[in-house]
């Protein structure tokens, strides 16, 4: 923010005068609530919260901010884990939560057009009402917003079948840093008319523009599915079990978690799936429309058990049991939240997982002795989530410094395996110091040029992804 400008009160009065119907919030509780995401690492200190109700209001806010040099932080459900929605330096938070409606359904193109503030769960219900499915899914479905999903190219638990958010965005309307409204792709299936700016916007964390409308592709609902949970005696068995399941079952999801993850989620109210204990667990969802497919699932379990890859397992017999088994995986993040863990969200090629996990385990054993490290992830798409819980007696600053030191080593290891420091959470504030471990200096320089083109005043989420 330009120090030569008028005081904050004067700027807000000017914005209110220019946009008399704009809802502005300045109460301390609102500044704290809207100024942070789930990282909780930075003290929120926004200038104010603007809650537009229309595309035109978003454009007017951006034009005003560009003229005045006011930084903007776009805000959705603020369920992010990378600091991408943090406003800690006097930015104006631009919350899209009032823009939360379904705008149109097209039964021929099978698309649903929505505003950015709509919750993922509401989109899923709207698709189901039309006999269709919006398949991107994750545990925060009730609170995360579609705009935020698009901004981070969110993945979730069924990427192995459906891919990331990117695959389901048919068109976008984006307000860039000049206040221009860009109508990107317009729902076309084929469009080879130059650069696809839609895909630049997806995953850009609000640094290139503000999503104000999204046209989402829908698909047929999946067939009836069952869920299995396996207990594995060793990390080496993970890929062997994955190969066996992938070869014989129509997989919708394949996830794993450790015994420490199970410990925390059970303490948080989940039910133990069986009496056996093991260091690793797998949950897999697969098509099961008839007795033949169920028999095949049992055959997979017997095959894995005979080879010593699993020591116990359970298959769901009802929808309620499927939900209970999924809670073992989906409830992990919530069960760890009170500990304010330091999180890594990393990815490598699926084929590189065994070697990378060996290297990662060696780093953790050396650098985190006696520390509760909880990890889980989407083995089927190469994405691992690592949560480091702060030991009692260690101050927050010292803990973060230790974790950053370990993350630097992890970043170097990822570079060696051709991986990424962020699989689906984004870079934000948390990981921007490690961006060069994933992207080359030439790539980052190109990204800076793209931002300059779409945000010439540098007002859109400055300081996120790179400085």
**Which residue would you say has higher pLDDT here, 40 or 381?**
381
Q: pLDDT tens digits for 95-146?
A: 999 999 999 999 999 999 999 999 999 999 999 999 999 999 987 898 899 9
Report residue 1's pLDDT band, with 50, 70 and 90 as the boundaries.
very low
Q: What span, in angstroms and rounded, lies between the C-alpha atoms of 205 and 147?
A: 10
Q: What span, in angstroms and rounded, lies between the C-alpha atoms of 208 and 453?
A: 9
> Residue with structure tokens 């800690």?
88
Query: 275-279, 292-296, 301-305, 434-438: which range is least confident on average?
Result: 434-438
Look at residue 80 in the predicted model and tell me its pLDDT.
Answer: 82
Look at residue 7 in the predicted model and tell me its pLDDT.
Answer: 60
Report residue 278's pLDDT band, with 50, 70 and 90 as the boundaries.
very high
Residue 346 pLDDT > 50 = yes
The pTM for the full model equals: 0.91
**Which residue would you say has higher pLDDT here, 438 or 53?**
53
Report residue 367's pLDDT band, with 50, 70 and 90 as the boundaries.
very high
Contact 202, 168 (CB under 8 A): no
Q: pLDDT tens digits for 392-413?
A: 888 989 999 999 999 999 999 9
Q: pLDDT tens digits for 82-98?
A: 889 999 999 999 999 99
| Paired strand residues for 74 | 94
Q: What is the three-state SS of the chain?
A: CCCCCCCHHHHHHHHHHHCCCCEEECCHHHHHHHCCCCCCCCCCCCCEEEECCCHHHHHHHHHHHHHHCCCEEEECCCCCCCCCCCCCCCCEEEECCCCCCEEEEECCCCEEEECCCCEHHHHHHHHHHCCCECCCECCCCCCCEHHHHHHHCCCECCHHHHCCHHHHEEEEEEECCCCCEEEECCCCCCCCCCCCHHHHHCCCCCCCCEEEEEEEECECCCCCEEEEEEEECCCCHHHHHHHHHHHHCCEEEEEEEEHHHHHHHHHCCCCCCCCCCCCEEEEEEEECCCHHHHHHHHHHHHHHHHCCCCCEEEECCCHHHHHHHHHHHHCHHHHHHHHCCEEEEEECCHHHHHHHHHHHHHHHHHHCCCCCEEEEEEHHHCEEEEEECCCCCCCHHHHHHHHHHHHHHHHHHHHHHCCECECCCCCCCCCHHHHHHCCCHHHHHHHHHHHHHHCCCCCECCCCCCC
Q: pLDDT tens digits for 187-238?
A: 999 999 999 999 999 999 999 999 999 999 999 999 999 999 999 999 999 9
Nearest to 413 by CA among 375, 358, 360, 343: 360
Tokens of 338: 């009170």
Average pLDDT, the chain: 93
Look at residue 5 in the predicted model and tell me its pLDDT.
Answer: 43
The percentage of the chain sitting over the pLDDT mark of 70, rounded to a whole number, equals 99
What Å distances lie between residue 163 and 158, 375, 400, CA to CA?
A: 7, 22, 32
Tokens of 406: 């370990």
Q: What span, in angstroms and rounded, lies between the C-alpha atoms of 216 and 193?
A: 21
Look at residue 297 in the predicted model and tell me its pLDDT.
Answer: 95
Residue 266 pLDDT > 60 = yes
């Amino acid at each position: 923010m330009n120090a030569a400008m008028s005081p904050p009160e004067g700027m807000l009065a000017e914005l209110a005068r220019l946009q008399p119907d704009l809802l502005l919030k300045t109460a301390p509780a609102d500044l704290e609530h809207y100024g942070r995401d789930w990282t909780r690492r930075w003290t929120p200190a926004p200038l104010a919260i603007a809650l537009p109700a229309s595309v035109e209001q978003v454009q007017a806010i951006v034009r005003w901010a560009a003229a005045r040099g006011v930084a903007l932080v776009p805000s959705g459900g603020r369920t992010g884990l990378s600091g991408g929605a943090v406003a800690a330096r006097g930015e104006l938070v631009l919350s899209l939560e009032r823009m939360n409606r379904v705008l149109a359904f097209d039964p021929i193109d099978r698309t649903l057009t929505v505003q950015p503030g709509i919750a993922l769960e509401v989109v899923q219900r709207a698709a189901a009402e039309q006999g269709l499915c919006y398949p991107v899914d994750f545990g925060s479905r009730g609170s995360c917003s579609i705009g935020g999903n698009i901004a981070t190219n969110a993945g979730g638990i069924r990427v192995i079948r459906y891919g990331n958010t990117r695959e389901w965005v048919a068109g976008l309307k984006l307000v860039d840093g000049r206040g221009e409204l860009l109508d990107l792709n317009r729902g076309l299936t084929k469009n080879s008319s130059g650069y696809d700016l839609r895909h630049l916007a997806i995953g850009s964390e609000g640094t290139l523009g503000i999503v104000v409308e999204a046209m989402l592709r829908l698909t047929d609902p999946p067939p009836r599915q069952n869920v299995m949970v396996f207990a594995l005696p060793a990390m080496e068995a993970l890929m062997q079990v994955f190969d066996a399941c992938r070869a014989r079952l129509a997989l919708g999801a394949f996830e794993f978690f450790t015994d420490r993850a199970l410990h925390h989620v059970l303490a948080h109210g989940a039910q133990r799936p069986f009496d056996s204990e093991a260091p690793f667990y797998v949950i897999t969802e697969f098509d099961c429309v008839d007795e033949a497919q169920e028999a095949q699932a049992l055959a997979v379990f017997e095959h894995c058990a005979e080879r010593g890859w699993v020591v116990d397992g359970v298959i769901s017999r009802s929808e309620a049991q499927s939900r209970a088994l999924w809670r073992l995986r989906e409830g992990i993040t919530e069960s760890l939240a009170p500990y304010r863990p330091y999180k890594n969200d990393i990815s490598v090629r699926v084929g590189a997982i065994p070697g990378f996990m060996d290297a990662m385990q060696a780093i953790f054993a050396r650098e985190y002795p006696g520390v509760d490290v909880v990890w889980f992830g989407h083995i089927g798409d190469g994405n691992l989530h690592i949560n480091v819980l702060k030991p009692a007696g260690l101050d927050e600053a010292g803990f973060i410094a230790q974790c950053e030191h370990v993350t630097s080593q992890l970043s170097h290891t990822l570079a060696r395996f051709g991986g990424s420091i962020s699989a689906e959470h984004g870079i934000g504030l948390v990981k921007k110091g490690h961006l060069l471990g994933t992207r080359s200096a030439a790539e980052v320089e190109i990204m800076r040029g793209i931002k300059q083109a779409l945000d010439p005043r540098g007002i859109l989420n400055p300081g996120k992804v790179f400085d």
